[in-house]
Amino acid sequence: LDEIEKAHPDVYNILLQVLEEGRLTDTTGRTVDFCNTVLIMTSNLGTEDITKNTGLGFAAANQSMDIESIRERLMSELKRSFKPEFLNRVDDIVVFHPLEREHTREILDIFLEDLQTRFRGGKTKLELTPGAKDFLLEKGFDQVYGARPLKRILQKHLEDPLADEVLKGKILEGAKIKVDLSDTETLTFEIEKGEKAEKEVAAEVN
């Protein structure tokens, strides 16, 4: 349940029954069993205030509040927004640590691995230089929204240009592509033809 603080009050009443009894009965008498269900709720309560005071994001290394202080402030915000009977039925509340550069780099690697799998069925190899990765991280990280914009930046600066190169016939199956950062702060593609591409060229010559 995303951003549970925005839910209608009736939703909380329904959740109280689910969290207390492990089942839900509607107005017609039908009952749904929730005994083997894990309910996960997310909330953004307090994050804006904490961001202003700690510099969430890459500046987290210099933050003036430790995680325990952050947790205390978030718990105070939760208690102001939710009724005690609701919070008392929640088994645990997890406060996520602010993202740091190494975390976003790991997220970028996951996105790139997914792109590698999707790009021409995974038969075309992508290799990004550290400079290219730093460029994407710088463009794709926001102190408020974290790494959420990263996918959009990948689409704009990497996926779409690669798709254009494929449409132009410059990237064939099995090719190796080295992605680097130019002096003009744009990504460049160095394309090495793969074995299949070489065979196709040889066939055309013959």
* DSSP for residue 7: S
pLDDT confidence of residue 59 = 46
The residue type at 8: H
Please give the Cα distance from 126 to 163 (Å, whole number). Answer: 13
Global confidence as pTM:
0.65
Residue 8 or residue 46, greater confidence:
8
- Residue-wise burial string across 60-83, b where 16 or more C-beta atoms lie within 10 A, e elsewhere: beebeeeeeebeebbeebbeeebe
The answer to whether residue 93 is domain-embedded is: no
The answer to whether residue 142 is domain-embedded is: yes
Which pLDDT band, with edges at 50, 70 and 90, does 203 fall under? very low
Domain span holding position 112? 101-205
pLDDT in tens, 31-60: 999 998 999 999 988 777 666 655 444 444
pLDDT confidence of residue 53 = 58
Q: Examine the domain organization and report whether 77 and 119 are in the same domain.
A: no
Averaged pLDDT, 147-163: 92
pLDDT confidence of residue 145 = 72
CATH number at residue 130: 1.10.8.60
Q: Examine the domain organization and report whether 18 and 81 are in the same domain.
A: yes
Judge whether residue 86 has pLDDT over 60: yes
Which pLDDT band, with edges at 50, 70 and 90, does 195 fall under? low
pLDDT in tens, 62-84: 454 567 777 888 888 899 999 99
The residue type at 23: R
**Token digits of residue 90:** 């929640």
**Which of the residue ranges 25-29, 98-102, 115-119 would you say has the lowest mean pLDDT?**
98-102
Of 52, 87, 122, which residue sits at a domain end?
A: 87
